[in-house]
Amino acid sequence: MFDVETIRKDFPILSQKVNNHNLVYFDNAATTQKPQAVIDAIVESYTKTNSNIHRGIHTLSQISTNLYEAARKTVQSFIHAPHDYEIIFTKGVTESLNLVAQIFSEAFLEEGDEVIVSAMEHHSNLVPWQIVCERHKAHLKFIPFNHDGVLDIEAYKNLFTEKTKFVSVVHVSNTLGTVNPIKTMIDIAHGHNVPIMIDGAQSVQHFPIDVQELDCDFFAFSGHKIYAPTGIGVLWGKEKWLEKLPPYQGGGDMIKTVTLEKTIYNDLPFKFEAGTTNYVGAHALGVALNYLTNLGMENIHSHEKDLMLYATEKLSQIPYVTIIGNAPEKAGAISFEVDGAHSADIGMILDKQGIAIRTGTHCTEPIMQYYGVPGTARMSFGLYNTRDEIDYFVKMLSKIAMMFQ
């Protein structure tokens, strides 16, 4: 049973008032709130078990190491990865995406080669590729999208040449909410023998992910967007790629032996985890994922789908409000504009009513350029949101939209 009112009690922050109103938190695409179990895991780690991992033979270090490695297995099972040693802990999806861009280009990108991304990428999956393409004199090519916010798959097919070396694409757009047809896109890339990475920052918290079924080569996400703390993220990569690729950073833990002249690198996943990692964050991420598994990702998906449809219908009926992005399949986020109003003003006035939304470019400036707008207002859902909250939001937004006419 997915009982949202009971579930809300697990999230202490939700019961507070903001600006003398009950908090309505619709900024989940930026970051999610944390259940008590995750908060407890962090507090308990620092009050009972804290010790650096992998390097100690004493009891606390072993407990800490066990918690860290158990979290790796939890992530493995959450995204259905074939092996736990393919799970690399990073500080977030941005680091995961940069890691792959840096080391893949170092190993395989040559002058004149091509990399494909979409035109709706978050800056985190665009700028790293701009950097490495410039460095290696390679070309970055873009999959266009149409006015509804849907990627043009025919155009994508036509972007491939014998020079194409890599594809990196967002699963769910944080701005448009579009769920991209990544299974099709993965199959097309593989048809050209090209590896493909998926930015799962906005998908993994909304519906079940099975990397084996998808058959992508890399999948990345952030902990803080999936009810875990900040500063922890995941990169999953196929063993065959992780074995072939050089390390990202040098330091402790990523080595087997070191002499002054030469280092033998450690096995996976440690080869990619230089230095003291965020082991407390990793443990708390494991706790968050177990929390979601107990609720059931399918249940979360259907609850949020209901919110998405309900909010879309209600927003469409508000005069002077226009939704940006009308893909047939959407998850998580709805961007909108209000005639005559700057998105920042909408956000500020809603905040006075206790409603948290995000406004601006959402780190997707090329999307803003496509629609010719300086920014949008964006409401985004989490598993604890309700239809009542949407009703309150719609009531407030209707008044505000009127005010600006």
CB 140 within 8 A of CB 183: no
Residue 133 designated active-site: no
- Quick note: the x/- pattern for ligand PMP over 241-270, rule CB under 6 A, is ------------------------------
User: Which CB sits closer to ligand PMP, 170 or 292?
Assistant: 170
Q: Of the ranges 58-66, 119-127, 260-268, 340-348, which one interacts with ligand PMP (CB under 6 A)?
A: 119-127
Minimum distance from residue 186 beta carbon to ligand PMP (Å): 17
Among candidate residues 152, 94, 147, the one with its CA nearest the CA of residue 118: 152
Q: Does 27 bind ligand PMP (CB under 6 A)?
A: no
**Distant-in-sequence, close-in-space partners of 40: CB < 8 Å, separation ≥ 6:** none
User: Which CB sits closer to ligand PMP, 7 or 377?
Assistant: 377
DSSP letter string over 326-380?
--SSB-SEEEEEETT--HHHHHHHHHHTTEE-EEE-TT-HHHHHHHT-S-EEEEE
Q: Of the ranges 6-14, 90-98, 279-287, 349-357, which one interacts with ligand PMP (CB under 6 A)?
A: 90-98
Q: Measured between alpha carbons, how far is 343 from 335 in angstroms, rounded to an integer?
A: 10
**Strand ranges, E, within 126-250:** 139-143, 164-170, 196-199, 218-222, 233-237
DSSP 8-state secondary structure symbol assigned to residue 384: T
User: Which CB sits closer to ligand PMP, 194 or 363?
Assistant: 363
User: Which CB sits closer to ligand PMP, 125 or 335?
Assistant: 125
Element (H, E) at 187: helix 182-191
Q: Does 94 bind ligand PMP (CB under 6 A)?
A: yes
Beta bridge partners of 319: none
Q: Does 92 bind ligand PMP (CB under 6 A)?
A: yes
**In the window 341-400, what residues touch ligand PMP (CB under 6 A)?**
363
CB 279 within 8 A of CB 288: no
User: Which CB sits closer to ligand PMP, 181 or 252?
Assistant: 181
Q: Measured between alpha carbons, how far is 384 from 39 in angstroms, rounded to an integer?
A: 17
User: Which CB sits closer to ligand PMP, 237 or 400?
Assistant: 237
DSSP 8-state secondary structure symbol assigned to residue 46: I
SS3 content of the chain, % helix, strand, coil (to 5): 45, 20, 35
Q: Of the ranges 75-83, 87-95, 279-287, 306-314, which one interacts with ligand PMP (CB under 6 A)?
A: 87-95
For tokens 């990345």, what's the residue? 220
Q: Does 124 bind ligand PMP (CB under 6 A)?
A: yes
Among candidate residues 8, 14, 7, 26, the one with its CA nearest the CA of residue 350: 26
- Quick note: the x/- pattern for ligand PMP over 131-170, rule CB under 6 A, is ---------------------------------------x
Q: Of the ranges 86-94, 273-281, 284-292, 310-318, which one interacts with ligand PMP (CB under 6 A)?
A: 86-94
Among candidate residues 206, 209, 208, the one with its CA nearest the CA of residue 226: 206
Catalytic residue from among 42, 356, 363, 373 = 363
Among 49, 174, 343, 380, binds ligand PMP (CB under 6 A): 174
| 298 phi/psi in degrees, rounded to 5 | -65, -40
User: Which CB sits closer to ligand PMP, 125 or 353?
Assistant: 125
| CA atoms within a 13 Å half-sphere pointing along the CA-CB vector of 222 | 19
Q: Does 201 bind ligand PMP (CB under 6 A)?
A: yes
Among 222, 290, 335, 353, binds ligand PMP (CB under 6 A): 222
Minimum distance from residue 234 beta carbon to ligand PMP (Å): 11
The residue count for binding ligand PMP (CB under 6 A) is: 15
User: Which CB sits closer to ligand PMP, 49 or 124?
Assistant: 124
Q: Does 202 bind ligand PMP (CB under 6 A)?
A: yes
DSSP letter string over 101-128?
HHHHHHHH--TT-EEEEETT--GGGTHH
User: Interface with ligand PMP by CB under 6 A: which residues?
Assistant: 29, 92-94, 122, 124-125, 170, 174, 199, 201-202, 222, 224, 363
Active centre residues (catalytic): 363
